Structure 1
């Protein structure tokens, strides 16, 4: 059954692309404007990004990899389970424990941009790397089918 692994692959790719784009273009662009403007834009981004498309990729990627592993069996299952684990820890846990609280702080005006941006970007890059690793793990799992 290739449908679930392919869904996992696409969702991990979408998530990796999102995180990568933020670290390599969005945050540098925001750093190039006045901090007050950057904070205003980031507040808007943080509100608008909470939509069904984000949740499909953000929640769906590790779940799809996990379910693909349950149905795959054999060596492929190990790769899919590894992808689910890396995605869960490197994307979901990091987001909920680090990036979201920082987003809330910038939204509340309790964290200045000069403190927020480098730390947020570093942890976002961790999320990008974890998502890219998960994408590769799903790809190896697919090759094992």
Structure 2
């Protein structure tokens, strides 16, 4: 039982860092690259990436992060590490709503709508589709990236507060 809290805290760090890094990569490279490409290529590539992200490598970071952080908060509270518990709890709640729920409510429906579109042959039609999709998707991705970064930061605060 003595090692449960450090293991849970370490998992909180790994998972919150992984999901922040995933969202951050979309902000600083992936979407800029797609925006620079032919919009027909961008639509096709985004459809392929959205279809491929549903996998066992991505799932733990995306789905488990808030629950591992909240478990860490509970374990810290049980060991009278209140300031660490609060940091992990705040981070877990921030990611739960600002990362997981936001993604499920906004980005996933946008991705599913894009998946239903047949990539048009005409570049102008594809440009309209992509210009309707990309800026809005990126705005929400930037929000979830910032909030995931805050959750990662709270993990750091929690770890700092766990020190001996």
Q: TM-score category by the smaller chain?
A: over 0.9
Equivalent of 2:42 in 38, 45, 50: 38
Partner Cα distance (1:2, 1:124) in 2: 31
Q: 1:128 aligns with which of 130, 136, 145?
A: 145
**What is the root-mean-square deviation in Å for CA atoms of aligned residues?**
1.2
Cα offset, 1:35, TM superposition: 1.0
Structure 2: runs of 5 or more not aligned: 119-127
Q: Does 1:119 align with 2:136?
A: yes
Q: CA deviation at 1:75?
A: 1.5
Give the Cα–Cα distance (whole angstroms) in 2 for the partners of residues 41 and 75 of structure 1. 44
CA–CA separation in structure 2 for the residues paired with 1:75 and 1:37: 49
Q: Unmatched 5+ residue regions in structure 1?
A: none
Runs of 4+ aligned residues of structure 1 deviating over 6 Å after TM superposition are none
The aligned length equals 145
Deviations 1:31-58 (A, max 9, x none): 1111111000000000111101111101
Q: Which residue of 1 aligns with 2:66?
A: 62
1:93 partnered with 2:97: no
Cα drift, residue 13 of structure 1: 0.5
Deviations 1:44-81 (A, max 9, x none): 00011110111110111111100000100112111111
TM-score (normalised: structure 1): 0.96
Q: Which protein has the larger Cα radius of gyration, Structure 1 or Structure 2?
A: 2
Normalising to structure 2: TM-score of the pair? 0.86
